[in-house]
Structure 1
């Protein structure tokens, strides 16, 4: 009888202790490391502690250098595992994001929608007025913010051609020409930049000020939007790109604070339309059955990057600016530099070749 009296409280203690331990298990976001918003400190973790194949890292560096890379970063669960700079490029050298910065615009649209400043299902002209294209008014009114996010505006991408410098990146009305009804044709085009005008008008602030306040400064990013030709392009050092990649890895949350709305971000990194399955809201998606190349209506029936994990989503910019986010491996990979092989819009053969090399290091 005495034994029972002793055992009962002990069992109760053990059960309650187990329950408490289970309840206190950190969520996936809780276990992610975030560097301080101010200062330059960033916790590191050794690749050998992750059982990565360290004997192959130098060969990876040699390959990256041969492909005109300027900076290369790999994070694991937020901590810095690899940070390598080539030539005269350093941790403080700014470089352009090119179209990898499209994902910054995607994020800002989601933030503005969460603040009820806009609705992505509303037509673009609700915010910036009619006549922003040269399409007939009835056709222009078909174009919603979501069409710009998903590259399905129906506007003619031939007017955004690398081969014609006079038209390159042109987003004035005379370059935004009707080709098909919105939602019926996918075409990679810089017309998405009109979303920055939408956000500015909807917020009553300049694009730069709203971006800095709502995203850049909250994550400790540095950098600025620089006018390059007809486009505003984001420039920063590689660590700032890594901070944004980490924000994306954490599903829009930074150290406990939801910056990009979670529901919107989930939409952004999933197929946004039924034409190019490998495209979300200005994010490229791996692991789908097919994809369309920029400046092409050809459907290619395979994964976007066969050598990369199927759950990868990525920001891809002209001349091989890269943010790869891979939840299954808990990694974010950053690559900045000149074109690896030849000038390209975003996706290139380099993506698949680089992942073959990364796979020799990260099992």
Structure 2
């Protein structure tokens, strides 16, 4: 019996050694992801360690990390079998920041000044309860079924939907949350944040401070072919710069998000490997490069921090939203925007109404059209930091649909021809969650 136990323990040890050996180059990424996500979930979204481990961090290989939360220090740490311990700290107004071994605990961070909307208007233009509007064109029973079918039933855990919000003609017509979530729950939009970054550039364009055709975007590019890259090329992910957007290994994007102090410089240093405007390649590095470009439009870092909230986020009443920063204090415009589903829907409504927010033109109408126009090489799938249905990705949905898309199935769908904004937040993508079926069912309920 003792020999069997000893033999079994030896096997376990060998398996652990093998797992660590195979994953060792990635341990920094794995523990970094786990610590960062845990810190944000606990301190920004107000969820528990247990729920975060069971839901948000419960997938391979992240689930091999062990998390700890220090509630007094407002930080979270993670390691893999004791190796590569990483720590993320929470800063009010900035969210959670993944630190490194050189981090100075006394480092001071600037935080954005905010003027949160205290309007008593009904949602969506304010934060009071929405008007109870009945549309004769809606079959509410069919709509309720369409929304309910987006969620798991009984013991299912496949669709993993957390929230659905539907706006029609500027009114809330449907809303549903999974147990443990409600209208006040902040949810990470992941790459939906890219569309927020695009909107900030749209505001700068409306103010006459930038032009999408301008070149010589960065001093580091002055003496080579990168000087000819336009802002338009970056907005369309069509710069020709080298970039590997692979989340399953040590790649440009995982190293940027979980190792780099300054994420705005991750793609800045990359060489030109293809012709601009003729080599579409989705890149989170491009969006953070654009965050750096936005920073360069201001004399001070405080102005940069304030602008995103003053001119966009707080102006349209997205009071719950927090855009997290990197260790150098730059907005991680590619990935780290948190907000309630209702507030994500407000952003969609701004674009549905061609950049107009309750009478105030935040963005030029032409900018919204530009955002929804396909770029070269994307097969009708991508515009200026928005995803498109022009190529028929969703065959049973109007082709004028465009959307903010994020990891694990975060979506803000804008369908101008149907006057609809549809938000779905969750933890899974196609094919476990069929967006075409979901969207077409909602559309069929509206005659």
Query: What's the TM-score once normalised by structure 1's chain length?
Result: 0.75
User: Alpha-carbon deviation of 1:38?
Assistant: 4.6
User: Alpha-carbon deviation of 1:100?
Assistant: 1.5
User: Alpha-carbon deviation of 1:314?
Assistant: 1.2
Distance in 2 between residues matched to 1:351 and 1:202, nearest whole Å = 38
User: Alpha-carbon deviation of 1:57?
Assistant: 2.0
Q: Is contact 2:124–2:172 with CA below 8 Å preserved after alignment?
A: no
Partner of 2:133: 45
Distance in 2 between residues matched to 1:340 and 1:107, nearest whole Å = 25
Cα distance, 1:307–1:137 mapped onto 2, change above 3 Å: farther
Distance in 1 between residues matched to 2:183 and 2:203, nearest whole Å = 29
Q: Deviations over 1:218-262 (max 9, x none)?
A: 111121112479945110111110111111110000111100111
Q: Is contact 2:130–2:172 with CA below 8 Å preserved after alignment?
A: yes
Aligned residues between the structures? 304
Distance in 2 between residues matched to 1:354 and 1:235, nearest whole Å = 24
1:213 pairs with one of 304, 307, 310 = 310
* Root mean square deviation, CA, Å: 2.7
Distance in 2 between residues matched to 1:161 and 1:239, nearest whole Å = 30
Determine whether 1:257 maps to 2:347. Answer: no
Distance in 2 between residues matched to 1:39 and 1:59, nearest whole Å = 26
Distance in 2 between residues matched to 1:38 and 1:129, nearest whole Å = 43
The answer to which structure, 1 or 2, has the higher relative contact order (CA under 8 A, 6+ apart) is 1
Distance in 2 between residues matched to 1:173 and 1:226, nearest whole Å = 19
User: Alpha-carbon deviation of 1:165?
Assistant: 4.2
Structure 1 residues 129-140: aligned runs within 5 Å? 129-130=219-220, 137-140=223-226
Partner of 2:347: 244
Partner of 1:24: none
Determine whether 1:189 maps to 2:279. Answer: no
Q: Unpaired segments of 5 or more residues in structure 1?
A: 1-32, 289-302, 343-347
Distance in 1 between residues matched to 2:401 and 2:316, nearest whole Å = 22
Distance in 1 between residues matched to 2:122 and 2:159, nearest whole Å = 30
Cα distance, 1:98–1:173 mapped onto 2, change above 3 Å: closer
Q: Unpaired segments of 5 or more residues in structure 2?
A: 1-120, 153-157, 257-262
Query: What's the TM-score once normalised by structure 2's chain length?
Result: 0.62
Cα distance, 1:86–1:267 mapped onto 2, change above 3 Å: same
Partner of 1:269: 372
What SS does the aligned partner of 1:181 have? coil
Distance in 1 between residues matched to 2:182 and 2:194, nearest whole Å = 24
Determine whether 1:200 maps to 2:287. Answer: no
Q: Is contact 1:271–1:285 with CA below 8 Å preserved after alignment?
A: yes
Partner of 2:141: 54
Q: Is contact 1:268–1:280 with CA below 8 Å preserved after alignment?
A: yes
